[in-house]
Amino acid sequence: MIIDHPLLGPRDSAEFVYLGDACLIERPDWQDENALDAFHDYLYLRDNPAGEHRELWFHEQGDRSWLVVTRNTLTHEITKVELARDVARALGRSK
């Protein structure tokens, strides 16, 4: 596969390390009342769609950016690639 890196252009996916569902960005609050359940669902019950999937890739053999790649798991078509940091900030994550 080819991942069109938003900063570097197209790169062979072999340069990247895959992590999984992009909702791993949304780490729960440890002080929540149901923190244990929230962390369980966060870590273990991830999206696994047959179709469009937002997922985290790390450009290990490149610029060390974490990317959020929107890819169709049936066709492998990639429709969007974003810097994970931007996605995280847009989700309200900060410090």
Partner 1 sequence: MSDTALYPTPALGGYRADKDGIVVEELTRLAVVSIATPLDGDKALDAAMQKSFGTTPPAPGKVTISKDGKTRFLGMAPGQIFAVFNHDRPDAEKRLAETLSGSAYTTDQTDVWVALRVGGESVVAVLERICPLDLHPDAFPADRCARTVMEHMAAIVLRDGEDGFVLLTARSSARSFLHAVEVSVENVL
Partner 2 sequence: MSNTASRQSHRLSGGLVDRNAPLDFTFNGSHYQGFEGDTVASALVANGVKLVGRSFKYHRPRGILTAGSEEPNALLTIGRGAYAEPNTRATVAELYNGLAASSQNHRGPLGFDFMAVNDFFSPFLSAGFYYKTFMWPRAFWEKVYEPLIRKSAGLGALSGEPDPSTYDKGFLHCDVLVIGAGPAGLMAAKTAALSGARVILADEDFRLGGRLNSETYEIDGMPGSEWAQSIVQELSEMDNVRVMPRTTVYGSYDHGIYGALERARDHLSDQGDKPRQILWRIYSKRAILCAGAIERPIAFGDNDRPGIMMAGAVRSYVNRWGAAPGKRVAIFTSNDDGWRTAADLSAKGIEVAAVIDPRTGNAPYQIPNTQIFMGDAVAGTYGRKGITQIALASGREIPVDCLAVSGGWSPNLQLTCHQRGRPAWREDIAAFVPDQGIPVGMSVAGAANGELSLKSALTEGLNKANAALKDLGMKTAPQAAPKSDDEKIAATPFFYVKESKARAWVDQQNDVTVKDVKLAHQEGFRSVEHLKRYTTLGMATDQGKTANVVGLAIMANARGQSIPETGTTIFRPPYTPVPIGALAGRARGKDFRPYRLTPSHSWAEEQGATFVEVGMWMRAQYFPKPGDKSWRDTVNREVETTRNSVGICDVTTLGKIDIQGRDAAEFLNRVYINGFAKLAVGKTRYGMMLREDGIAMDDGTTARLGETHYVMTTTTANAGPVFRHLEFCRQCLWPDLDVHLISTTDGWAQFAVAGPNSRKLLQKVVDTDTDLSNEGFPFMACSEITVCGGTPGRLFRISFSGELAYEIAVPARYGDALIRALIKAGEEFGVTPYGTEALGVMRIEKGHAAGAELPGTTTAQNLGMGGMISKKKDCIGNTLSERPDLNRDDGLRLVGFRPVDRSQHLKAGWHFLSKGSPCDMAHDEGWMTSVAFSPSLDHSIGLGFITRGSDRMGEIVRAVSPATNVDIEVEIVSPHFIDPEGERLRV
Partner 3 sequence: MHYSVFKIISEGLKGNTGWKPQWRDPEPRKEYDVVIVGAGGHGLATAYYLAKEFGIRNVAVLEKGWLGSGNIGRNTTIIRSNYLLPGNEPFYEFSMKLWEGLEQDFNYNAMVSQRGIINLYHNDGQQAAYLRRANAMRMAGADSVMLDRDELQKLCPFLDYDNARFPIKGGIMQPRGGTVRHDAVAWGYARGADERGVDIVQNCEVTGFQIKNGVCTGVETSRGPIKAKKVAVCVAGSSSRVMEKAGIRLPIESHVLQAFVSEGLKPTIPGVVTFGAGHFYVSQSDKGGLVFGGDLDGYNTYAQRGGLPVVEDVCEGGMAIMPMIGRARLLRSWGGIMDMSMDGSPFIDHTPVDGLYFNGGWCYGGFKATPASGYCYAHLIAKDEPHEVAAAYRLDRFRRGAMIDEKGMGAQPNLH
The stretch among 26-34, 41-49, 58-66, 82-90 that binds partner 3 (CB under 8 A) is 41-49
Q: Select from 17, 18, 20, 80 the one that contacts partner 2 (CB under 8 A).
A: 17
Residues of 29-48 as b/e, b for ≥16 C-beta within 10 angstroms?
eeeeeeeeebeeebeeeeee
Residue closer to partner 3 (CB basis): 60 or 89: 60
Q: Select from 6, 15, 21, 39 the one that contacts partner 2 (CB under 8 A).
A: 39
Q: Counting contacts by CB under 8 A, is residue 40 touching partner 3?
A: yes
